[in-house]
Amino acid sequence: MMKLILASNNAKKMKELRAILSDMDVEILSQREAGCNFEVDETGTTFAENAYLKAKAVFDATGEATVADDSGLMVEALGGEPGVYSARYAPGEHDATDKERYEYLLKKMGDTENRKAKFVSSICCLLPDGRIIRTEGECHGRILTEPCGEGGFGYDPVFMPDGYDESMAQLGTEVKNKISHRAHALAKFKEELRKTDGIDK
């Protein structure tokens, strides 16, 4: 059985990764379970760079196969903002809530006609044999003029995926986990992981 460390302590990400790899011979541990009690400075300028930084820090500390993801929202009319700053996109120095972040986004958007946006997830996995697996997934849609729905998290209440007439927050977990940026990136990652020696195909 292959051991795989998720460079995160996010319970939702752990559940999602375990679910998609459930039919493979892989033991998945969180960063904390692997004994890595540190935070990684996400100094990259792209999602791919930040995913690599997180994976590399945990890989260097453990020597075990490590996977990390970095994701966020990119709005066309704002030149790709909030991008890598999605989790800390708000005025001031305090830790903003999800509501404060999407309200700040809506304020910056104003009555802009171009509401095109996409969620992006970049995954990086470092393997002990030196191989690096990189995959990326996207979910395209548009920014609403006001929040809709109580479900989900982050920018879900103000993002409507293409092909749907409800916000990501209204669609429910089952639908979201099929169409989300992370779901697409993880599906590609699984296919690449299947090519690894020692994995039960």
Active site residues: 70
CA dist., res. 95 & res. 42, Å (int)? 16
27 φ/ψ angles, rounded to the nearest 5 degrees:
-100, 120
Taking phi over 0 as left and psi of -120 to 50 as alpha, with beta for the rest, 170 belongs to alpha
84 φ/ψ angles, rounded to the nearest 5 degrees:
-65, -10
Give the Cβ contact number of residue 100 at 10 Å.
15
163 φ/ψ angles, rounded to the nearest 5 degrees:
90, 0
CA dist., res. 102 & res. 38, Å (int)? 28
CA dist., res. 98 & res. 102, Å (int)? 6
Give the Cβ contact number of residue 192 at 10 Å.
14
Residue 146, token pair as written in the block: 């006001």
Residue 171, token pair as written in the block: 């669609």
